[in-house]
Structure formats: C-alpha cells, structure tokens
Amino acid sequence: MKIIGKILGLLVVLFLLFLGTSYVALSTGKQVETVWSEEDFVSGVERSQIVIDDIEEINLENLARGNFSTNGENQIDEHFTQEEVSALLSMANENRGPLKDIKVSFTEDGNIEASFRLSENFIGFLREEGVIPSMGIPKVYASDNIFGENSSDPSLTDMIVDYVAGLVNNKPVYATGQLYRDSENSVQLNIETLHVGRAPLPRETIEKVEYETVRVVNAIIARENGFHIEELQFRDGKMYYRGTLPEEIEGVRL
C-alpha cells in the first residue's frame, strides 16, 4: 500500500508539473515590441480622414458582424506608421473587442508581425460567427475521434468550449505573414506562423484562421462601404495605402 501511495503521489506531482508547464507555455510567448502613444492614434485618424464619433464602437466584433454604417468616401494616398495602426486597432478593441493589446510591425521585406491577447468574449464571438458551432463537435474533430465515442454530445461540446474559453482568455498570440491586395475590394492573407503563448498551431488550424479572417475583412471593405484599394503595401515600418476610404464610420449602438 505504501508503494501504491508513493506512486499515486508521484503521479499527482507530475500532473501538477504538467499543468504548470502548460499554463506557462500558454501564458508567455513572443510579442511585437511596437510602442504607440495617444499622439499616434490622433495622427492615424487624421491621415485616414475618417470621421469617427466613438472609436470603441467600431471594434472588430462590431465590424465582423456588420454592426456599422459608413457614409461617403475620400481619396487617400497616405502611409500609416506601425505605431498608428497599432494605436487604432488597440483603442478600438481594448474594452469591447475580441482582441486587445494589439501591436503590429511591418518589416523591411514586407512581412507583418502581429501580437495581441484574446479577450474573455473571444469564444462567444467565434460561436456567433459560426467558426465554432453552437451544438456538436465540428466534423473534422469528430472524424479524428479525439473526444471519444461521445464526441457528438452537445453538453460535452459546451463543456469543452467553456474549458477552452477559460484557458485562452488573456493569453498572448503571435503571428507572422503577409497581407496583400487581391483586387479593388479584396485582400489575401498568408499566415506563416501562429502561436498561442509558446505553442505553435498546426497548419490545418492556420488555414482555417486565414479563411475566416479573409472572409470577414473582405466583407468589411466592400465597395458600398466606401473602400476602393488601388495600392496596399507594407514595408519599413509603414503601411502604404492608395485608394478610397469612407468619410465616416459609425458603429451601431446595441
């Protein structure tokens, strides 16, 4: 009995060490070092020539759901610094968006680095967008049978999703890749690396993120919303944009 007790004790210690290591691995990771200020936010808005009443109303969640309206359009031929872009994204999403603490960096070779933290309503946002189904495990998971015979049980699905929601909340994400103009009203995204904390995500997950991100972004930059992309480039710490942007963007008050 003493031997069994020692073995069980050792297993508990190993399990706790595993949990601690996993938590540290998810909670720490590489982050973009771009530092922005309120002046960067002001200059970014001025360069865009867009009238914005409340920046928090045009967070990524509202934009993705189509809970916004635009008026008019302005011709733009400008560059936006990585500090200005980081400031605009961060201030719009810090309190209500699915992401926060967003920072971007534009490298000399045209690559983009981005880091951010997942907010507590991130999983709910994915569910409402249809990325995570409200009921049932996605077929890709069920076919892999990683959740066992009861993988189609909705209550099990909810339990897993709730667990994942608590696990990823406020965890850092780091990504590298390229964003480029595909047409006058569409872009394409190529994610090279994607990490949650120190853990790299598999290629199949990255492809899903690419697809969903492009779908949402292209729905936002439609011609009827005042967008018309003639040139879009990222290099040397700046985003170069030539085309049109709406005169005014207003989020829908819910």
Reported as a pLDDT band with limits 50, 70 and 90, residue 48 is: very high
Sequence ranges of the domains in the chain? 2-251
CA-wise closest residue to 210 among 170, 168, 239, 178? 178
Reported as a pLDDT band with limits 50, 70 and 90, residue 199 is: confident
pLDDT of residue 108: 85
- Tell me if residue 157 falls in helix, strand or coil: helix
Judged against a pLDDT cut of 70, whether residue 190 lies above it is answered with yes
41/116 Cα distance (integer angstroms): 17
Average pLDDT over residues 111-140: 64
Low-confidence winner among 57-61, 63-67, 157-161, 187-191 (lowest mean pLDDT): 157-161
More confident residue, 69 or 30: 69
In degrees, to the nearest 5, what angle opens at C-alpha 161 toward C-alphas 66 and 151? 120
pLDDT of residue 96: 84
Q: Identify whether the C-beta of residue 231 lies closer than 8 Å to the C-beta of residue 240.
A: yes
DSSP symbol at 170 = T
Q: Identify whether the C-beta of residue 179 lies closer than 8 Å to the C-beta of residue 187.
A: yes
Q: Round the average pLDDT of the chain to a whole number and report it.
A: 79
Strand order in the sheet with 228-235: 74-81, 238-245, 228-235
pLDDT of residue 138: 40
Q: Identify whether the C-beta of residue 98 lies closer than 8 Å to the C-beta of residue 170.
A: no
Note the helical H segments in the chain: 2-27, 38-48, 60-65, 82-93, 122-128, 139-144, 154-168, 203-220
Average pLDDT over residues 158-174: 64
More confident residue, 69 or 253: 69
Percentage of the chain modeled with pLDDT above 90: 52
pLDDT of residue 116: 92
More confident residue, 95 or 170: 95
Percentage of the chain modeled with pLDDT above 70: 69
What pTM did the predictor assign?
A: 0.76
State pLDDT tens for residues 202-239. 888 889 889 989 999 999 999 999 999 999 999 999 99
Q: Identify whether the C-beta of residue 45 lies closer than 8 Å to the C-beta of residue 52.
A: yes
pLDDT of residue 134: 40
Axis crossing angle, helix 38-48 with helix 82-93, rounded to the nearest 10:
100
6/12 Cα distance (integer angstroms): 10
Per residue, the 3-state secondary structure of 14-83, as one string, reads HHHHHHHHHHHHHHCCCCCCCCCCHHHHHHHHHHHCCEECCHHHHCHHHHHHCCEEEECCEEEEEEEEHH
User: Of the spans 12-21, 77-86, 93-102, 245-254, which averages the highest pLDDT?
Assistant: 77-86
Which residues, in sequence order, are bridge partners of residue 80?
Answer: 239
Low-confidence winner among 107-121, 132-146, 155-169 (lowest mean pLDDT): 132-146
